[in-house]
Structure 1
Amino acid sequence: MKPTIALVGRPNVGKSTLFNRLTKSRDALVADQPGLTRDRHYGHGKVGSKPYLVVDTGGFEPVADDGILHEMARQTLQAIDEADAVVFIVDGRTGLTPQDKLIANRLRQLDRPVRLAVNKAEGMVSNLVVAEFFELALGEPWPISGAHGEGVRSLIEDLLAGFEVEVEEEDLDYPKFAIIGRPNVGKSTLVNAILGEERVIAFDQPGTTRDSIYIDFERNARKYTVIDTAGVRKRAKIDEAIEKFSVVKTMQAIEDANVVVLVLDARQDVAEQDAHIAGFALEAGRAMVVAVNKWEGMDLYARDQIKRDIARKLGFLDFARYHYISALEGQGVGDLFASIDAAYKAAMAKLPTPRLTRALQLATEKQQPPRAGLVRPKMKYAHQGGTNPPVVIVHGTALEHIPTSYWRYLEHSFLKMFKLQGTPLRVQFKKGENPYDTKPGEFKPDRKGVMRGEHKPGKEVVKRVRKKTG
């Protein structure tokens, strides 16, 4: 197994910058603002000669006993308990602080390797910048720069020297699903209910989650990845740069997922923003499951009203399965997995060309495409052009005249005939080339080998191809 390295330190010492350096990514949000990272964020380390997992944690406030800082401290302690090694990061430019000493006292009690990294040491004399940190009694301090990469590789190589790592083959055939929705609808609570632990911070405050958190887990011997995302508000209400980046991260998570679980609040009417979020996921072609949360304790009249509201405002999600759940109490959460598996299977389905062509013929026999003047589009055959979502390419003539309504009819026909539940489907048209449709000076062979074209617009010229004889 790969060893896990936890990055620990007080706020704003550069943990997320170092995380991005180690993973060679921009997965963690970075800004000159304390307390930006709140949840544990996992990634695959790519700096060093051995594979490993690295965990970014929120700013560690050991003395916090309530509020969001207390929840962040709990997340950090859980990351330390799970890790095989710890990198304690301090700020070389700020110097040693009382909070650093409190954290060091906790880390000295661990029975696992700890390395003290003095960050932001670029352009400074190494011996001078690390001198005062010997007081923490955590071994020799390592001067590094997470932003510029100085000393990072040497630190990781030293830390991993005591680990024997077996290279495992990566399994890519498993569902990756993102939990999306407006702020404060219960996304993080649902993630914790799925995992059976307080894996992410669930707080009764909109905007608690700022980053997209990827979490691998197994259920019934099947592997999954769940992505907890930040709530997406209306554009007019997004006034902080951090929140704008959070929205971008959410959109990227939707693109990265195979399936999205749209979480709605049963205690509130379906808002325009719910439809916007669902529309973006649909445009991305993602398979979808809808979870109507906070269903507990509602009377029959209120439940009937919210169902009517959903049917009226989210009618374009008729391909998705709906679940009425309580993430807080765990009701109905387990039933989501059957729908997630079905949606993933449908999104990745392989559709044979003969069956697709036969399905196309049945659809056109039932309802012909409408005429466009004297022309009626003719569809000859179909084949698959991609997955996630399934793409069906239809070949024929005069296909540019097919209206949007008939386009949608074909999409629904293919979904129904192949029993694809939970995923949208795309139909693309590709018309055959007309050998008589040429530009001046261009010649194309027809079926009989005659080269047809024109020297001047409106004046056709025919050139016969002479066959060479022995």
Structure 2
Amino acid sequence: MKPTIALVGRPNVGKSTLFNRLTKSRDALVADMPGLTRDRHYGHGKIGNKPYLCVDTGGFEPVADDGIMHEMARQTLQAIDEADAVIFLVDARVGMTPQDKLIANRLRQLDRPVRLAVNKAEGMAPNVVTAEFYELALGEPWPISSAHGEGVRGLIDSILAGFDVEVDEAEVKHPKFAIIGRPNVGKSTLVNAILGEERVIAFDQPGTTRDSIYIDFERGDQKYTIIDTAGVRKSGKVNEAIEKFSVVKTMKAIEDANVVVLVLDARQDVAEQDAHIAGFALEAGRAMVVAVNKWEGLDLYTRDQVKRDIGRKLSFLDFARFHHISALEGQGVGDLFASINAAYAAAMAKLPTPRLTRALQLATEKQQPPRVGLMRPKMKYAHQGGMNPPVVVVHGTSLDGVPASYWRYLEHSFLKMFKLQGTPLRVQFKKADNPFDMKPGEFKPDRIGAMRGEKKPVKVARHGSQGPNPPKAGKPKRPTIKKG
């Protein structure tokens, strides 16, 4: 098992910066703003051949009784309970504070190793910067700089020395699905309902989640990764720089996921922003499941109106499965996994070339492509060009002018013939080269000779010649007959 190392400390002491350095990533949002990180954020790291799991936590306020800070403190305490070791970060520039003493009193009661790291110590004398922190009675302070990496390697080596660390096993691919939607539609509540615990902060305030949180878990014998994302508002309403970075993180989470679960609020009208978010996921080619949340307590007439509204405004998501759930009460949440598994299987499906070619022939026999000028596009065969989403490459001639309507017709035909539920499909056309479409004096390899392994080029004849090597004019010479 990998040891789990939790990063704990006051707000704005550099925990997220240290997390990014330990995981060699930029997964955690970093800014000169207290209270930016709110949920527990997990990441994998490795020093030499020793792997570990790192946990970034929000600013620890032990005396907070309510509000966001209280929820952040609960998340930090849970991370401490799960951890095998704790790094307590303090700020060398600010010095020791009363809040540091309260946190140290809590950490001294643990039965696991705690390392006191004095951060932001670059350019300062180590003995001077650590002197006052001996009062916390947590052992020898380690002067480090999470921004510059000074002292970080020695700190982690000292922690991992007390554990028998196993070598990393090869990672097995498993479904990753992102929970996306507008702010305050119940995304974090849905994540907690799926995990069966208060893993992320669910608060009745838009914008509670600021970062994309990746969580590994198992359901039955199947491993999953769920990604809780920040709510995406209209670009005109995004003013804070932090919120802009949160939107970027959400877009990156969609790119990383295999399946996205679009959460809608049944108690609000389907807004234009819902269609924009769904459109971005569709452009990214991600398989999709739609969860209509807050379904409890609605009468039959309202439910019917909501279904009609969604069907009209999100008609381009006809390939996705729709579920009506209540994340707060847990109704219908378990049914999402059947659709997530089906969408993942469809997105990662392998399509044999013979079956694709046969499906192409059936589609063109049923509906031929329209003429382009004097020519009708001729589609010869098809093969798979990628997965997540499935890409079908169609080869033929005169494919430049195939209209978008016929493009969509082929996409729906392939989806229907291969029974791919929950994923979009892309069709690409590849026009065959014309061997006679060459300029005078241009060299092209002889195709037949290339099939035989020959590399001799064929030169195209100029106007007036009789081929690549025209005979000379005049009488042909008589063959010489040798006597004897």
**TM-score using structure 1 length:** 0.96
1:223 and 2:228 correspond: no
Match of 2:460, SS state, is: strand
Residue of structure 1 equivalent to 2:481: none
2:291 counterpart letter in structure 1: A
Give per-residue Cα distances to partners, 1:411-454, cap 9 Å, x unaligned. Answer: 00000000000000000000100012123421446778794636
Give the counterpart letter for 2:468 in structure 1.
Answer: K
Q: How does 1:435-454 map to 2 (within 5 A)?
A: 435-444=435-444, 451=458, 453=460
* Counterpart secondary structure, 1:20: helix
How do 1:36-47 and structure 2 match up within 5 A?
Answer: 36-47=36-47
- Number of the residue aligned with 2:331: 331
Q: CA deviation at 1:373?
A: 2.0
In 1: Cα distance, 2:466 partner to 2:258 partner:
53
Residue in 1 that maps onto 2:383: 383
Letter of the 2:210 counterpart: R
Distance change in 2, residues 1:164/1:446 (3 Å):
closer
Residue 315 (1) aligns with residue 315 (2): yes
Verify the 8 A CA contact 1:34 1:59 in the aligned structure 2: yes
Q: Which residue of 1 aligns with 2:395?
A: 395
Structure 2: distance between partners of 1:315 and 1:30: 39
Which structure: larger Rg? 2
Cα distance, 1:308–1:7 mapped onto 2, change above 3 Å = same
Q: Within 2, Cα distance between the matches of 1:332 and 1:320?
A: 17
* Secondary structure class of the residue paired with 1:292: strand
Cα gap change, 1:336/1:137 in structure 2, threshold over 3 Å: closer, same or farther?
A: same
More displaced, 220-229 or 171-180?
Answer: 171-180
Q: Secondary structure at the match of 2:25?
A: coil
Q: Name the stretch that deviates more: 41-50 or 269-278.
A: 41-50
Distance 1:43 1:136 in 2: 28
Deviation at 1:374, TM superposition (A): 1.2
- Whether 1:173 and 2:178 are equivalent positions in the alignment is no
Counterpart of 1:295 in structure 2 is 295
> What is the distance in 2 between the residues matched to 1:65 and 1:53?
30
Task: Check conservation: 2:2, 2:53, Cα contact below 8 A.
Answer: yes
- Partner of 2:281 in structure 1? 281
Cα deviation digits, residues 62-116 of structure 1 (max 9, x gap): 0000000000000000000000000000001100000000000000000000000
Distance 1:261 1:58 in 2: 26
| Inter-CA distance 161–297: structure 2 relative to 1 (3 Å threshold) | same
Runs of 4+ in 1 over 4 A off after TM superposition: 445-452
Q: Take 2:145 and 2:155, find their aligned partners in 1: how far apart are those partners?
A: 11
Is 1:203 aligned with 2:203?
A: yes
Structure 2 unaligned residues grouped into runs of 5+: 450-456, 472-484
Q: What secondary structure sits across from 2:65 in the alignment? A: coil
- In 1, distance between residues paired with 2:16 and 2:56? 6
The Cα RMSD (Å) is 1.6
Contact in 1 for aligned 2:441/2:459 (Cα 8 Å): no
What residue in structure 2 maps to residue 115 of structure 1? 115
Secondary structure of 1:46's counterpart equals strand
Alignment length, in residue pairs? 464
Deviations 1:134-188 (A, max 9, x none): 0000000000000000000000000110100122423332100000000000000
- Cα distance change, pair 123–239 in 1 and its aligned pair in 2 (3 A): same
Distance 1:46 1:157 in 2: 11
Deviation of the 1:376 alpha carbon: 0.2
Match of residue 467, structure 2, among 452, 462, 465: 462
Task: Flag the 1:432–1:99 CA change in 2: closer, same or farther, 3 A.
Answer: same
Once the two structures are TM-superposed, the CA of residue 460 in structure 1 deviates from its matched residue by 8.0
Query: Paired residue for 1:136?
Result: 136
Residue pair 2:461, 2:468 contacting (<8 A) in 1 also = no
TM-score by length of 2: 0.93
Asked if 2 retains the 8 angstrom alpha-carbon contact of 1:451 and 1:464, the reply is: no
Which residue is equivalent to 1:164?
164
1: distance between equivalents of 2:424 and 2:131?
A: 61
Gap runs ≥5 in structure 1: none
Closer/same/farther in 2, CA of residues 63 and 48 from structure 1, 3 Å limit: farther
| 1:268 paired residue number | 268
Does the 8 Å contact 1:48/1:153 carry over to 2? no
Structure 1 contact 23–47 (Cα < 8 Å) conserved:
no
Change (3 A) 1:295 1:441: same
**Is the contact made by 2:50 and 2:166 (CA closer than 8 Å) also made in structure 1?**
no
Aligned residue in 1 for 2:361: 361
Q: Aligned equivalents of 2:211 and 2:470: distance in 1?
A: 66
Confirm or deny: 8 A CA contact 1:58 1:73 kept in the other structure: yes
Alpha-carbon distance, 1:49 to partner: 4.2
Contact (CA 8 Å) 1:438, 1:454: kept in 2 or not? Answer: no
Does structure 1 conserve the Cα–Cα contact (< 8 Å) formed by 2:117 and 2:144?
A: yes
Q: Is the 8 A contact 2:392 2:428 kept in 1?
A: yes
Cα distance in 1, alignment partners of residues 216 and 86 from structure 2: 21
Distance 1:448 1:162 in 2: 67
Q: Contact 2:182–2:233 at 8 Å: present in 1 too?
A: yes
The structure-2 alpha-carbon separation of the partners of 1:168 and 1:46, relative to structure 1 and needing over 3 Å to count, comes to closer
The one-letter code of the counterpart of 1:361 is: Q
Cα distance change on mapping 1:445 and 1:108 into 2, 3 Å? closer
Distance 2:291 2:149 in 1: 43
Change (3 A) 1:11 1:364: same
String of CA shifts for 1:260-294, please: whole Å, max 9, x gaps: 00000000111000000000000000000000000
Contact conserved, 1:435 with 1:445, CA < 8 A, in 2? Answer: no
Contact 1:9/1:60 (CA < 8 Å) preserved in 2? Answer: yes
Task: Find the residue that maps to 2:468 and give its secondary structure.
Answer: strand
SS in structure 1 of the partner of residue 467 of structure 2: strand
Q: Give the conservation status (yes or no) of the 8 Å contact 1:377–1:397.
A: yes
AA of the residue aligned to 1:308: R
- Kept in 2, the 8 Å contact 1:21–1:149? The answer is yes
Equivalent residues of 1:325, 1:332 under 8 A apart: yes
Native 8 Å contact 1:7 1:56 kept in 2: yes
**2:344: which partner in 1?**
344
Pick which of 68-77 and 44-53 moved more: 44-53
- Mark the CA change 1:445 to 1:29 in structure 2 (over 3 Å): closer, same or farther: closer
Q: Is the 8 A contact 2:180 2:260 kept in 1?
A: yes
SS where residue 148 of structure 1 aligns? coil
Q: Is the 8 A contact 2:51 2:168 kept in 1?
A: no
Q: Is the 8 A contact 2:49 2:167 kept in 1?
A: no
Does the CA contact (< 8 Å) of 1:452 and 1:460 recur in 2?
Answer: no
Match of 1:258 in 2: 258
Aligned twin of 1:413 = 413
**CA distance change for structure 1 residues 396 and 117 in 2, over 3 Å: closer, same or farther?**
same
Could you give the per-residue CA deviations for residues 323-347 of structure 1, whole angstroms, max 9, x where no partner exists?
0000000000000000000000000
Q: Which residue of 2 aligns with 1:50?
A: 50
Matched, 1:82 2:82: yes
